[in-house]
Structure 1
Amino acid sequence: MTSPHDPVPFESNGETDSIDLLTAALRRDAADLEVYAQVLTGTLTEALPPGSVTAQRKRGLADRLAGRDGRVERVEVFLGEQRLVLDLAGGRPKGEVCKEVRGVVLSRRPVALDEWVRELALAVAVRARSDARARAVLERLVHGE
């Protein structure tokens, strides 16, 4: 049985368990979509190369006066030829998995939040195999640190 404090292997052995742990960590705060979007964008921005994560935010008057960034309404993650889009506007998350080559979307598939998170976990785990910084950030995410 795997403890949440066990090291997360991102190599080929135990990869399924790693993906499951990463999926659970990415889904952890999904009940509160606003908190979820903030944690997700912050963690992914830290783990992935610059330009891989974009977030569109909506700033109300209170946000501007308080100097806050505003509420995340859309997150896009670009990993290789895959673009993962999560639209949070309206309080109901809508996921989309796209295949994109040189800026042209070749396919677009709407998915539920759980499937979107699973696709994201798979793509990020692949990235973490070759990127030590991404691996360290993802291990912190999985362990809740």
Structure 2
Amino acid sequence: MTTGPDEPADGAGGLEPSGLGPMGDVAVLAAALRTDRADVASYARVLSGALGDALPPGTVEVGHRRSLADRLGGREGRVESVLVHGEGRDLELRADDERVHAEMRRVSGGVVISRRRVDVEAWLQALAEDLTRIAARDASARQAFERWLRM
């Protein structure tokens, strides 16, 4: 999903850590996220761990499936889903057996008004766009993203 001509890619001033401009930064961020593509759990680790401090509170929700052994052992269980709340949309990645499903939802006033399944590539592109917008507005987020991209 790309931004339209009336909608700046970074949502504000101009995030240019890569020197490629706002759309180049989206591409760099999407490529970095793509390297962690192994499973939903890896995205959950990146979004709640390495990038979690850069994101506003409540932006990322990680869902777990807990077996009886997990409950008895006091463990969180297996990561089942990652939900990222963006501006006017939610992005969800869900593991279902051996497959990964990606969904984009348009949200208005906290109510889902439309949803569509997309491939993981489109989901990553949308996520990179949202993260770039956050970084353009928030200096500490921008620094955290830059540190993560250099890892």
- TM-score bracket for this pair, using the shorter chain length: 0.7 to 0.9
Cα deviation 1:27-54 (Å, max 9, x = unaligned): 1121254334322332343221111111
Return the match for 1:79 from 71, 81, 86. 86
After TM superposition, the score normalised by the length of structure 2 is: 0.78
Mapped contact 2:94–2:102 kept (Cα < 8 A): yes
Q: Percent identity?
A: 41
What is residue 4 of structure 2 aligned with on the other side? none
- List aligned pairs for 1:58-77, cutoff 5 A: 58-61=65-68, 63-64=70-71, 67-77=74-84
- C-alpha distance in 1, partners of 2:112/2:76? 29
After TM superposition, the score normalised by the length of structure 1 is: 0.80
Structure 1 stretches of 5 or more lacking a match?
1-7
What is residue 45 of structure 2 aligned with on the other side? 38
Amino acid at match of 2:109: R
- C-alpha distance in 1, partners of 2:148/2:98? 24
- C-alpha distance in 1, partners of 2:105/2:19? 25
Number of aligned residue pairs: 137
Cα deviation 1:50-94 (Å, max 9, x = unaligned): 111111012335545665432211111111211111112323111
Which moves more between the two structures, 29-38 or 135-144?
A: 29-38
Amino acid at match of 1:142: L
Return the match for 1:27 from 31, 34, 40. 34
- C-alpha distance in 2, partners of 1:90/1:41? 22
- C-alpha distance in 1, partners of 2:92/2:100? 10
Secondary structure (helix, strand or coil) at the match of 2:29 reads: helix
- C-alpha distance in 2, partners of 1:123/1:134? 12
